[in-house]
Amino acid sequence: MLGLRESKETLVTALREVEAWEKDQNDLWFWEKLGRLPFVLLDRITPAFVQEKLGKAVDEMAAFLETGGTYLVQDEPIYKRFRKRLEEQGTPVIGKEEMAAVPLTIMNDVAMELKDSRANFATVQGATTGFGGIFTLAIDIPLLMGTSLKVLQEMALAYGYQPEEKRERLFVVKCLQFASSDIVGKKAILTELSRFDDPNAQREVMAQLQGWREVVVTYTENFGWKKLFQMVPIAGILFGAYLNRSTVQDVAEAGMMLYRKRRILERLRESEKSEEINETTLQQ
């Protein structure tokens, strides 16, 4: 079994870095605020077949939460990245159950690598679907939703969590919601996630599964005016490439930081328990 290599001081420092990132998420950019204005206009000019795709995205999100659906990722490609790094350090090949004990620095490296890889993929995807303007927008929206869900699951795996578990898929959806929320929404989600692993809050966490439709609505509405530019043929290539890349980067970063914080807090709790046991032993 791998041991936790970080000291309590190292974990506290890492936690402060994540908390500093959280404070930087204070508000949406001006462009993001502007993007929330023309939803009525967007709804009026959006063809029925595009609206149908948005409705399908809602149904697919329901399937993801219940069973993982078509968006559930394979864990072995992620674990191969870990094994390669661990072998370079002379650490024996480990199993799935031991991934949660991998040093945080390696988890961070794998997460960053996955973030960059998915962002590059989204850039190509956005440019390709942006070529046809509004006609390929119907293809782009579910693809972007799928990419976002997959990169968040990869972040879960990178920090030792299993997205095949239903409650973990809820955490994935909460990360997706966080990435597209305003300051009030972000604060509320951070409060919810801070209690995610609290045994006393399990019933509350599972009850949140009932609110998944709000997440999808928030996420699709966040396209706003940005997707209006992508409706223009040819010019949509540039807008599609940039917007898809920035969207996936934001989602991946949110997942990376929120999962990192969760893992750090779990290790700090384990460290505190270990200290309590040692103190009890010494007193005896």
CA-CA distance, 32 to 180, in Å (whole number)? 9
Establish if 279 belongs to a structural domain: no
Establish if 218 belongs to a structural domain: yes
Inform me whether the pLDDT recorded for 27 exceeds 60: no
Q: What is the reported pLDDT for 208?
A: 59
CA-CA distance, 8 to 233, in Å (whole number)? 54
Q: How many CA atoms lie within 13 A of 132 on its CB side?
A: 10
CB-based contact 261:155 (threshold 8 Å): no
More confident residue, 198 or 172: 172
* Whole-prediction pTM: 0.82
CA-CA distance, 171 to 181, in Å (whole number)? 15
Establish if 192 belongs to a structural domain: yes
CA-CA distance, 69 to 60, in Å (whole number)? 7
Residue 39's domain comprises: 8-271
Establish if 141 belongs to a structural domain: yes
Q: What is the reported pLDDT for 214?
A: 62
Inform me whether the pLDDT recorded for 162 exceeds 70: yes
**pLDDT tens across 244-282, in order?**
888 889 899 999 999 999 999 999 988 888 777 766 666
Q: Which residue has the tokens 């990169």?
A: 151
Inform me whether the pLDDT recorded for 235 exceeds 60: yes
Establish if 241 belongs to a structural domain: yes
Q: What is the mean pLDDT of the chain?
A: 77
Inform me whether the pLDDT recorded for 229 exceeds 50: yes
Buried b (16+ CB within 10 A) or exposed e, 139-163: ebbebbbbbbbbbbbbbbbbbbbeb
CB-based contact 229:235 (threshold 8 Å): yes
Q: What is the mean pLDDT of residues 195-207?
A: 67
Give the chain's domain count.
1
Q: What is the reported pLDDT for 49?
A: 55
